[in-house]
Structure 1
Amino acid sequence: MQISLEEINKNNYEAVCDLEVTEAQEDFVACNMWSLVESFYNEDHTCRAIYLGDEPVGFLMWVRESVSKVSIWRFMVDKKYQNQGIGRSALTLAIRSIKQTPGVKEIEICYNPKNPVAKNFYSSFGFNEVGLDEDGEDMLSLIRL
């Protein structure tokens, strides 16, 4: 099946809002509905549904922080579709899309430092840890282009 990133619109937003992570992951992932509301009321937020064929199975949101930096704020794959390589394919597509943004020199992502799966996953894409974020809660990791 083909993985793609699709615009979120009136035809698919409910399906995106209904996506869920496992109970153990709930503390690490923001609600998709909240993310869509947040993006609607703030500039430079890009939201995409992760599709497996014709089925929405995940969600991504990135934010243009400055002319040179984009931050991936949200990334999830529904619990029914995890451990199938969908997240890896989707993040590859997202990074490729972000790299096409004129002027971007850094892509950043944050994650809970108590989540070793996230650290290993993101480092496999070339993200390098640079320390805790300004709140001292999440690990900040960067790809410099």
Structure 2
Amino acid sequence: MEISLQEITKDNYEAVCDLDVKKEQEELVACNMWSLVESMFNDGYVTRAIYADNEAVGFLMWVKESLHKVSIWRFMIDQNHQQKGIGRVALKLALREIRTYQDLKEIEICYMPHNPVAKDFYASFGFVEIGMDEADEEMLASIKL
């Protein structure tokens, strides 16, 4: 199975919008459709469809918050494609692409603090928890470059 990140276009946006997480994960991730709308009206938002072979199976969105910082705001794998190692490869590809930004010093990600799977998963890539966000709802973790 070949995993790739692809730009979201008029040819694949519907497939991305049709992706869903498991019912118990719905409160942990934003709707892909909302994220695509958000990306269309805000500068610095980058979206990618995660593909396994020729099928859209996930979604990523990151935001260039400043010259030195990129934050990964959305990351999901469709419920029918979880537990196959796709997310691990996709995040590795995303981090590789993000690291090409000039003058980048930090990559940040956030997740719900009651999600221990996310904590361990992101830590395996080098993300270190730095504390709760301003709203005290999500844990922030970052990689310093």
TM beyond 0.5: yes
> Cα RMSD over matched residues?
0.4
Partner of 1:101: 101
| Identical amino acids, percent of aligned pairs | 63
2:76 is equivalent to residue 76 of structure 1: yes
1:97 counterpart SS class: helix
What's the offset of the Cα at 1:98?
0.3
The structure 1 segments of at least 4 consecutive aligned residues displaced by more than 3 Å after TM superposition are none
Q: Separation in 2 of the partners of 1:10 and 1:75?
A: 20
Q: Separation in 2 of the partners of 1:29 and 1:101?
A: 26
Partner of 2:39: 39
Partner of 1:88: 88
What's the offset of the Cα at 1:134?
1.1
Partner of 1:117: 117
Alignment length (residue pairs): 145
Q: Separation in 2 of the partners of 1:82 and 1:111?
A: 17
Please, which runs of 5 or more residues in structure 2 have no aligned partner?
A: none
Please, which runs of 5 or more residues in structure 1 have no aligned partner?
A: none
What's the offset of the Cα at 1:40?
0.1
2:11 counterpart SS class: coil
2:16 is equivalent to residue 12 of structure 1: no
Structure 1 length-normalised TM: 0.99
Amino acid at match of 1:32: N
Mapping for residues 22-61 of structure 1, pairs under 5 Å = 22-61=22-61
What's the offset of the Cα at 1:2?
0.5
Amino acid at match of 1:20: D
What's the offset of the Cα at 1:136?
0.8
